[in-house]
Structure 1
Amino acid sequence: MTRVLVGLVYSACLLFWDVVATYTHVGALEPHAIAAQSYAQSRHNGRPPARTLNPAKTDSECRSRPLDLVFIIDSSRSVRPIEFEKVKIFLADMVDTLDVGAEGTRVAVVNYASTVKVEFLLKDHFNKLDLKKAISRIEPLAAGTMTGLAIKSAMTEAFTEVSGARPKARKISKVAIIVTDGRPQDNVEEVSAAARGSGIEIYAVGVDRADMNSLKQMASIPLEEHVFYVETYGVIEKLTSKFRETLCGVDPCAMGHDCQHICVNSNASFYCKCRTGFILNADKKTCSLKQVKVAVIEDPCKCEARVAFQKQTQAPLADVSRRIESLESLAGRG
């Protein structure tokens, strides 16, 4: 019995000294080695912190053509709170890529479930920070999926001049981006056709259980450029680059032009203008100094009465001249 106890004590002492040596070794590691080890463990064992919407964060923007842009987002019961946050981050990322401003792109958001709520209008926010703060405050409505009603509300409430949409005469593109993960509980085909007929270009983004046929009924033609699908809300942010390619045009004036004086952007194209005092030549590129027209004042005495008198006297004078010539001819013969 005594021999067994001695063996157990001996084993315990060996284990103790092994643990002490191990921690002494770790303590002797350089600080950067400990940090690297901790980083490797965190990558292996832990998830990275979830991304949250930071209104102050900005990414590089593209030179987008001016738009009246309305997001129509599904916040029905099927969209869990963490997934709805992903949608809001997607909206904020989209705002970052756009040339936002009163004369640039204006943004509105329509939130829907069984009911529809216009979160803010095109006329409400003209800078990115205010827009993203407004997006961060949006709360899910959590009920049914009345997508058709949401599209109609966007058309009659958000895309109006009273709400901040530009007049048709200005030819500013009107774009709606719908994000949904379900099947509409109302009719979307007719109301979408009416919206497209009024000049609204519709992009349909389906997530997870979204009904593809409904997406096609809502979207503009060609469908391959206006219908998108992602498997989860976790990857919806990847669509930002897709929309960046679609909505962000290259600034033709910045890329190089042959205007002599001023280059003016016009959506995806440009045209040339001249500075004050010059006119655009026929080549639509070069400019010439504007000629000042000098008004020539005719002889004030050359009035209609004088002209009429001259016409009346021309014939008799010609007859007198002929008679004088005849008399001179006869005199010469004599």
Structure 2
Amino acid sequence: VHPAVSQLDEVEMVSLVWKVVVFGILAAGSQGSLPQPRSHRRVSTGRYDLSADLESVEAQSEKATRTNCKNRPIDLVFIIDSSRSVRPVEFKKAKEFLQDMVDSLVIGRDATRVGLVNYASTVKIEFLLNTFFDKSSVKQALGQVEPLASGTMTGMAIRTAMEKAFTKEAGARSASMNIAKVAIIVTDGRPQDKVEEVSATARASGIEMYAVGVDRADMASLKLMASQPHDDHVFYVETYGVIEKLTSKFRETLCGLDPCDQGHNCQHICVNSGDSYICKCHPGYILNPDKKTCSRADACTQGHDCQHICVNSRDSYVCQCRTGYVLNTDKKTCARSDPCALGHDCHHICENSDASYVCKCRAGYVLNTDQKTCSRSDPCSQGHDCQHICVNSDASYMCKCEVGYVLNPDKKTCSQEMRSEISEDACMCEAQIVFQKKVQSAIQELTRKNILF
């Protein structure tokens, strides 16, 4: 007997009646399987001799369980047998073992997800893969699980986990994502229902089964549940007092080697991907075709929401507008600009013109050569149709005639003024006066015709 075992007190010896732990790992092809431990598990007459490795395990266990491995994401479901034969102190040890397992993994929405199925003669799903996404919550939930009752319906528990715990609705990720699915079952000795058929179905669906028995566990049942080769998938320990020492063994299986830690040629970031790794770049950079080096990203070519012009700015971009437009407050869309509203130096009137403006003058004024100020206009100098004299009048003009002429009714042309001396002689007859007026009118008419033609 190993010294570590011989020193156990009576209470601890009573608790050393561990059962079976079955690990199921979904293998998505050869790349979906978890890496096998580097050291080969030794099996003697169908049982793993833990005591031979106890010294090295004791030295490494605490460090292994407290260190997060950079494992690939896993969908992990614990299946615990809480039948009456599992005493409270033993059930507590079982939960502590599972908590140690969780402690050695990276838990998160995009990392490892954990669920729990509790069973005896009935099956109860305590929490699913999409219930908790942080390590502390998972460990707390594991610690709060209570035993159910009598019975050891291991086969029913395996089927429930396979059909309900590993579904998309329960938080399991699709096989195309190449994420392993793991089920850990803790059972009390010999199953009370058939496990061979359901285990075969699980293995055929891609689940890799690991079985760990404690004390009185039935080795034949363990092998019926476990995948081949049994040397790598069947474990056995003598007591509950040393079951936590298996944590480092399973950690080695779940974590495997860290490809990035083994060395890589990524310029920026190395990300583990299965048994290998991929390179990624810091924000603002894109991966070059060699899949190793990075170049500064052209943010605009990656897609933008600028209405007019996208301009790269460090690791992002800014929007600008074409000439004649201004950027709206949303910093994305553009509106036609109003240069006059932004300020101008026009004396009278400012009118927008594309991206600039022009100055104009009010009626009666003309724009000066500086194209900004205005002066009172000279309509006559702008052109007129007066026969004799043009006279400015506000914003227009009027025509006048030279001395000796009178303005005709068209307000433009002029006619010679005819002066008649009307005698006041009483002897002058009325016929003479009429004749003089007719002559004067005839002369004016002839004068008008000469001007027009």
Q: Pick from 196, 199, 211: which aligns with 2:218?
A: 211
- Residue-by-residue CA offset, 1:150-169 (whole Å, 9 max, x unaligned): 00000111111101111111
Q: Write the mapping of 1:263-282 to structure 2, written as runs, cut at 5 A.
A: 263-273=270-280, 278=286, 280-281=288-289
Distance 2:127 2:151 in 1: 21
SS at match of 1:253: coil
Question: Partner residue of 1:120?
Answer: 127
Once the two structures are TM-superposed, the CA of residue 99 in structure 1 deviates from its matched residue by 0.6
* Alpha-carbon offset, residue 171 of structure 1: 1.1
Map of 1:1-334 to 2, 5 A cutoff?
59-273=66-280, 278=286, 280-281=288-289, 284-286=291-293
Deviations 1:197-252 (A, max 9, x none): 22222221211111111111111222222211111222211111111111113332
Taking the aligned partners of 2:74 and 2:8, their CA distance within structure 1 comes to 42
Which amino acid letter does the alignment assign opposite residue 195 of structure 2?
Answer: V
| Cα distance in 2 for residues equivalent to 1:46 and 1:250 | 35
Once the two structures are superposed, what CA deviation does each residue of 1:153-204 show, in whole Å capped at 9, x if it has no partner? 0011111110111111111101112222311111111111111222222221
* 2:285–2:294 Cα contact (<8 Å) kept: no
Higher strand proportion: 2
Q: Is the 8 A contact 1:99 1:105 kept in 2?
A: yes
What's the counterpart of residue 34 of structure 1? none
Counterpart of 2:140, as a letter, is K
Identity across the alignment (%): 65
CA gap 1:290/1:93 in 2 versus in 1, 3 angstroms = closer
Aligned-partner Cα distance in 2 for 1:139–1:252: 40
Return the alpha-carbon distance in structure 2 between the equivalents of residues 68 and 215 of structure 1: 22
In structure 1, runs of 5+ residues without a counterpart are 1-44, 52-57, 292-334
Structure 2 vs 1, CA of residues 100 and 288 (structure 1 numbering), >3 Å: closer, same or farther? closer
Contact 1:72 1:112 in 2 (8 A): yes
TM-score by length of 2: 0.49
SS in structure 2 of the partner of residue 165 of structure 1: coil
RMSD over aligned Cα atoms: 2.8
Contact 1:180 1:205 in 2 (8 A): no
Cα deviation, residue 289, structure 1:
8.1
Residues 144 and 277 (structure 1), Cα distance of their counterparts in 2 relative to 1, 3 Å cut: closer
Distance 2:296 2:157 in 1: 55
Q: Are the aligned partners of 2:86 and 2:188 in contact in 1 as well (CA < 8 Å)?
A: yes
| Structure 2 unaligned blocks of 5 or more | 1-6, 16-64, 299-453
Instruction: For 1:264 and 1:135, locate their aligned partners in 2 and report how far apart those are by CA, in whole Å.
Output: 30
Contact 1:179 1:207 in 2 (8 A): no
CA displacement at 1:49 relative to structure 2: 10
Whole-Å separation in 1 of the counterparts to 2:191 and 2:240: 18
Report if aligned partners of 2:120, 2:149 keep a CA contact under 8 Å in 1.
yes
Q: CA deviation at 1:142?
A: 2.6
What do the CA deviations read for 1:231-290 (whole angstroms, capped 9, x no partner)?
1222211111111111113332244311234422202310234566655345x4345789
Alpha-carbon distance in 2 for matches of 1:64, 1:172: 11
Structure 1-normalised TM-score? 0.66
Letter in 1 for 2:255: C
3-state SS in 1 of match to 2:66: coil
Report the CA distance between 1:132 and its aligned residue: 1.2
Against the structure 1 CA distance between its residues 129 and 273, is the aligned structure 2 distance closer, same or farther, given a 3 Å change threshold? closer
Runs in 1 of length 4+ with deviation above 4 angstroms? Answer: 45-51, 273-279, 286-291
Q: Residues 226 and 46 from structure 1, CA distance in 2 versus in 1: closer, same or farther, beyond 3 angstroms?
A: closer
Cα deviation, 1:107-157, whole Å, max 9, x if unaligned, reads 111111111111111111111111111111111113111100000000111
Match of 2:377 in 1: none
Match of 1:301 in 2: none
SS class of match (2:212):
strand
Residues 190, 218 of structure 2: 8 Å contact kept:
yes
1:68 aligned partner, one-letter code: D
Identify if the C-alpha distance between structure 1 residues 46 and 73 changes in structure 2 by more than 3 Å, giving closer, same or farther. Answer: closer
What letter matches 1:280 in structure 2? N
What's the CA shift for 1:66?
0.8
Contact 2:212–2:234 (CA under 8 A) maintained in structure 1: yes
> What is the alpha-carbon distance in structure 2 between the residues aligned to residue 132 and residue 278 of structure 1?
39
